[in-house]
Amino acid sequence: MDSEVGWNLDNSYSRLPEVFFGEATPAKAVSPRVILLNEDLAVLLGLQVEMLSQEVLSGNELPEGATPIAQAYAGHQFGYFTMLGDGRAILLGEQLTPSWNRVDIGLKGSGPTAFSRGGDGLAALGPMLREYIISEAMYALGIPTSRSLSVTLTGNDVIRETILSGAVLIRTASSYLRVGTFQYAAARQEPEDLKKLADYAIERHYPEILSEDNRYERFLGKVIERQAALIAKWQLVGFIHGVMNTDNMTISGETIDYGPCAFMDVYDPATVFSSIDKYGRYKYGNQPGIASWNLARLAETLLPLLDDSQETAIQIAEKQLANFGLNFEREWLNGMRAKLGLLDEQSGDEALGKELLILMKEAKADFTNTFRALSDECVEQPKWFSEDAFCEWKKKWEARREQQTATNEESYEVMRLSNPSVIPRNHRVEEAIEAAEHGDFGVLYELNRVLESPYAYSAEQAPYTAPTNSSLPYRTYCGT
């Protein structure tokens, strides 16, 4: 039966030394009910949608070939180092897709593991819906991310401040190897285990460098490149992760962990959404710097592999780390050019983009809608576009566009493909979650449908483009 469903699981991570994981058993769901199933993702995974049972999607039954484990890792959480591990996530295995991609697939909210640290390992419906909504929206936006296959009500109560409905999320990623996984290996001071982990990560994500003599230096450089590109993409759509701890930074360059995350409405680099980020460590404007700091922690773990001489190893690491800023600035500037419809390169482009951001901050302008209005003159133009400062900027922008060989229509087309018309607005996400918690899933389904095509600029998207009318600061929570 499982072969008919399409499960094709391997367990290469489980072949690493046993210190990197612990065996795990999903908790039983009393009365499972699937409320979200990502049919498009299921097809990509090679699964037969109509044959996926709620028993498997809830964790009550394991698909053939599954070896459920919880991964061990460490992390700097708000700057403080801690030994951690998956406290409420269970990796079932790696699905080998019809295109022979290897994809981690596992349960979240499926009960305690060896790393739960006294927690119940369960998840409430709200946080699992949030991860589904935001991760799939990020995928549609073209940002590297984990993805969500399903959300299933378990029928179990979850006790937080109140009693909440329990739910299980099935999520996927090219892997959940993290900076924190390497910190865990380094903290144990077993050089051979560290080397095995590094070779595994290289073979899995950067096989083109596996045979190179300096593969560990190249590995560090590759991770730095991918993370620089990822953070630039975050910045360009106004996304704020909220918990950029080292255990939430992947080796693959994908976004993971959608707890206290959100998209900005009003542009302000000081924006913070996470209820636990009291000092703004992970505010929007700090994200590039924090990513660089996290990558320095990765480099520290790799020093024994970079060279036998620690002094030389540090020099190698510093050389690679210096590239983060250059890579980020290049990726951000290329992305900003696209958002402004600039199809060639000129020296003043960075200043032009940053001048607009300054004006947006002064005007308390909506981040997404500003670029949406620039991309489509048919949509309602913000009132602040009539102010003298913006009019002066617009003259410079239009003069810059006239200097390129691309036509106006070609320029606008690039802009519309680079500036989303809709994002998962915070009040819309909360509206969908609240309705679902009261048994109405229609609001959730409609929101997900609209977010599937963020660059469509369609009339039906208009109601989803309005920012909140609340003056209260928005706060998000980790859900544990």
User: In a 10 Å sphere around its CB, with 0-12 CB exposed, 13-18 middle and 19+ buried, how is residue 14 labelled?
Assistant: middle
pLDDT digits (tens, 9 = 90+) for 405-429: 999 999 999 999 999 999 999 999 9
Q: Kindly calculate the radius of gyration of the chain based on its CA atoms and give it in whole angstroms.
A: 23
**Does position 1 have pLDDT exceeding 50, yes or no?**
no
**Dihedral sign for Cα atoms in the order 136, 137, 142, 146:** negative
CA 461/CA 480 separation, integer angstroms: 33
Residues 53 and 167 in one domain: yes
d(CA 60, CA 206) in angstroms, rounded, equals 35
- Across the range 49-58, mean pLDDT stands at 96
Both 16 and 162 in one domain: the answer is yes
Domain boundary among 385, 400, 421: 421
Residue 278 sits in the same domain as residue 239: yes
Lowest mean pLDDT among 265-269, 425-429, 476-480: 476-480
Look at residue 256 in the predicted model and tell me its pLDDT: 97
C-alpha to C-alpha distance for 229 and 324, rounded to whole angstroms: 9
In a domain, 446, yes or no: no
What's the CA gap between 353 and 345, in Å, rounded? 13
Looking at the structure of the chain, the number of domains it has is: 2
Residues 323 and 390 in one domain: yes
Extract the tokens encoding 104: 């981690």
CB 240 within 8 A of CB 262: yes
Rounded CA separation 148/131 (Å)? 8
Report CA 380 to chain centroid distance, whole Å.
Answer: 31
Neighbouring-strand partners of residue 148: 171
Summarize pLDDT for 127-183 with one digit per residue, the tens. Answer: 999 999 999 999 999 999 999 999 999 999 999 889 999 999 999 999 999 999 999
In terms of pLDDT, which residue wins out, 478 or 203? 203
Would you say residue 430 lies in a domain?
Answer: no
Find tokens 């640290």 and name the residue. 117
**pLDDT-derived band of residue 274, with 50, 70 and 90 as boundaries?**
confident
Residue 238: the pLDDT is 98
Average pLDDT of the chain, as a whole number: 95
Kindly state whether residues 153 and 76 are assigned to the same domain: yes
310: in domain = yes
Question: 134 and 235: one domain?
Answer: no
Give the closest residue to 47 by CA, choosing from 92, 4, 105.
4
| 472 within a domain of the structure (yes/no) | no
Inside any domain, residue 457: no
Residue after which a domain boundary falls, among 176, 206, 241: 176
**Claim to verify: residue 134 and residue 220 sit in the same structural domain:** no
Backbone angles phi, psi at 236, to 5 degrees: -75, -15
pLDDT of residue 479 exceeding 70, the answer is no
Are 62 and 12 within 8 A, CB to CB?
Answer: no
376 tagged catalytic:
no
How do 74-77 and 9-10 pair as beta strands?
Answer: unpaired
Determine if the pTM surpasses 0.85: yes
Q: 112 with 227, same domain?
A: no
162 plus 200 within the same structural domain = no
Tokens at residue 404, please?
């390129």
Whether residues 238 and 155 share a domain: the answer is no
Residue 71: inside a domain: yes
pLDDT at 225: 98
Could you say which of 86, 247, 257, 277 is catalytic?
A: 247
pLDDT higher than threshold 70 for residue 475: no
Q: Band the pLDDT of 280: cuts 50, 70, 90.
A: confident
358 belongs to a structural domain: yes
> Is residue 474's pLDDT more than 90?
no
Residue given tokens 């960075």 in the structure block: 350
> What mean pLDDT is predicted for residues 218-236?
98
Residue 377 has pLDDT above 90, yes or no: no
pLDDT over 60 at 20, yes or no: yes
Domain that holds residue 121: 2-176
Last residue of a domain, one of 118, 141, 176: 176
Residue 394 and residue 295 in one domain? yes
* For residues 311-325, average pLDDT: 98
- Specify the DSSP element, H or E, that contains 352: helix 349-363
Q: Is 172 within the bounds of a domain?
A: yes
Among residues of the chain, what percentage have pLDDT more than 70?
97
Residue linked to tokens 């210096």: 322
Write b or e for each residue in 122-136: b if 16 or more Cβ atoms lie within 10 A of its Cβ, otherwise e. Answer: bbbbbbbbbbbbbbb
Asked whether residue 27 falls in the same domain as residue 164, the answer is yes
Q: Which residues contact 438 (CB under 8 A, 6 or more apart)?
A: none
Amino acid at 299: A
Say if residue 473's pLDDT is above 70.
no
pLDDT at 3: 66
